[in-house]
Amino acid sequence: MGKRLRNSFGIAFSMYSRIPMPSCQWTEENMKYVMCFFPWIGLAIGLLCFGWAALAQALDLGAPLRAAVLALIPIGVSGGIHLDGMMDTADALSSFRPMEKRIEILKDSHAGAFAILACAAYFLLLYGTLDSVTMEMMPAYGAVFFVSRSLSAFSVVTFPKMKKEGTVANFSEKAKTRRIQGTALVYLLLAVLWMFAQNPVLGCAGTAGALLTFVWYHRMAIKNFGGINGDLAGWFVSVCELAMPLCMVAASAVFL
């Protein structure tokens, strides 16, 4: 069991991050618990973001540089895999075509005009948001990446799939569904409690942003694609990691 968990851990980090891992076989047994470790990548990103913010403060670096690097850390760790899914999803949704055509566009590896526009708008809004995240808000903000991946792991083994093949369908088929669902909910509870312990206003705002995005994700995926796949899961992670700090910054401006 211990070796199987270590292998699942390695597969999760090899697939969804650029953090070096020892090689292991992608067998059915080793893939059963991959989604249990997917949120741990978010934990690593959160720690790196907090470390950079503390270093920027110690060196008295300007807010623009601080915000720019905060925006790039998740991309550097993940290799941009989730952002790629967001861009593909933007292309498909912006086509306003029948479902079959949207799915065809989603599968296309080329980036269209709407993908480029969505990516530019995403980073502009993310940069502006992170420029407003103070050092006092960083402990709560660091949990954002853990929350987004916990909810994503839950969706991978719970939501209907767009097709029977593909990364999400493959992981879902081989996963221990109930254990992953339970683990993801425990992770989510711990992260929410952490955010509330840092600041109840930020905790409430961040949780609201995550849950609203999650509900929107489910509705959007079912209505437009008939289910989820890897690109849509990447869309959720990216949008959730913008919606949560945006809600925190807005709540901080109004209530703190």
DSSP sequence for 110-133:
S--HHHHHHHHHHHHHHHHHHTT-
Average pLDDT of the residues of the chain: 92
Q: Are 196 and 190 in contact (CB under 8 A)?
A: no
Q: Are 153 and 39 in contact (CB under 8 A)?
A: yes
Which of 15-19, 67-71, 110-114, 181-185 shows the lowest per-residue confidence on average (mean pLDDT)?
110-114
CA distance 35 to 176: 9
Q: What confidence category does residue 67 fall into, taking pLDDT thresholds of 50, 70 and 90?
A: very high
Q: Are 10 and 21 in contact (CB under 8 A)?
A: yes
Which of 49-53, 103-107, 221-225 shows the lowest per-residue confidence on average (mean pLDDT)?
103-107
Nearest 10 degrees: Cα torsion 221, 94, 109, 27: -10
Which of 13-17, 160-164, 193-197 shows the lowest per-residue confidence on average (mean pLDDT)?
160-164
Q: What confidence category does residue 4 fall into, taking pLDDT thresholds of 50, 70 and 90?
A: confident
Per-domain boundaries in the chain: 38-255
What mean pLDDT comes out for the span 87-101? Answer: 90
Q: Are 52 and 31 in contact (CB under 8 A)?
A: no
Share of the chain above pLDDT 70, in %: 95
Q: Are 168 and 228 in contact (CB under 8 A)?
A: yes
Residue 155 confidence (pLDDT) above 70 = yes
Taking only the tens place, the pLDDT of each residue in 165-184 is 656 656 666 566 888 999 99
Residue 235 confidence (pLDDT) above 60 = yes
Residue 47 confidence (pLDDT) above 60 = yes
Which residues partner with 161 through β-bridges?
228
Residue 1 confidence (pLDDT) above 60 = no
Q: Are 148 and 42 in contact (CB under 8 A)?
A: yes
Long-range contacts of 106-112 (CB under 8 A, 24+ apart): 106/225, 106/229, 106/231, 106/232, 111/87
What mean pLDDT comes out for the span 91-96? Answer: 89
What mean pLDDT comes out for the span 132-150? Answer: 97
Q: What confidence category does residue 256 fall into, taking pLDDT thresholds of 50, 70 and 90?
A: confident
The pTM for the full model equals 0.94
CA distance 243 to 246: 5
